[in-house]
A = this chain, B = another copy of it.
Amino acid sequence: MTSTISRKVLLVDDEEDILDLLRYNLEKEGIEVHSATNGGDALKLAKSERPDLVVLDIMMPGMDGVEVCNELRRTPGLEDTLIVFLTARTEDYSHIAGYEAGGDDYINKPVRPKVFVNKVQALLKRTRSGQAVSKVIEANGIRMDLERITVSTGNEMLQLPKKEFELLALLMSKPGKVFKREEIYAQIWGNDIFVGDRTIDVHIRKLREKIGDDRIGTVKGMGYKFEA
């Protein structure tokens, strides 16, 4: 299902190798790629090319990714351009700064081409299919983006598998409310699919592993809840 709609991406990174690598992988998918190695050029290109998506390295000499992002958000006609940050997966929290700056997504370095291409395509698809009304749920230090299917726990960004994500989203839709097992089954699996007793437990366990034990509570005989 290769779309016929414009798919133009602007890559910005000071390392040429990375630029080449990403360019190669995107072009392979028939995506139009422009690139810049610094913030200034990036802005110029963005204005002239009007890409659908800008991939910004956060760490760059001179104007860094966050600044470029801010500038883009301020430029008439580019406010809504999708922006993805490339974040070095180090100790520092620059990706959080990026989040504040209003990026639409984040990709960790070192970049894995497949993951990268997937993400880009997913994001491009979004621009096409009507304005991304980003639905976000937030409670108790956890923030879920229903659209990007991501979860941030304050110090990191997670990609939960589908079922876990659905389960967490359900619990978080009404923090504090106890969801009976049946409710959970009905909502997540549907009324006609039946899975074993222990299935929910296992997903709950995995969630607790990932977001912390204290965030999901058990009420014996009644169900589970997200701690408010």
Chain B, residue nearest A61 (CB): B130
Copies per complex of this chain: 2
Taking a contact as CB atoms closer than 8 A, the residue among B108, B220, B225 that contacts A161 in the complex is: B220
Report the stretch among A31-39, A70-78, A145-153, A198-206 that lies at the interface: A145-153
List CB contacts (< 8 Å) of A90-129 with chain B: 92-97, 99-100, 106, 108, 112, 115
A22 to B186, CA, bound (A): 20
| A177 with B162, Cβ < 8 A, contacts A100-B137, A169-B93 known | no
A93 to B160, CA, bound (A): 13
| A191 with B115, Cβ < 8 A, contacts A106-B186, A169-B93, A221-B162 known | yes
Interfacial residues, chain A to chain B (CB-CB below 8 A): 89, 92-97, 99-100, 106, 108, 112, 115, 135, 137, 146-149, 159, 161-162, 165-166, 169-170, 173-174, 176-178, 186-187, 190-192, 219-222, 225
Query: What are the 7 tightest A-B residue pairs by CB atom distance, in nearest-first order?
Result: A162-B221, A99-B173, A96-B169, A100-B173, A93-B146, A108-B190, A149-B178
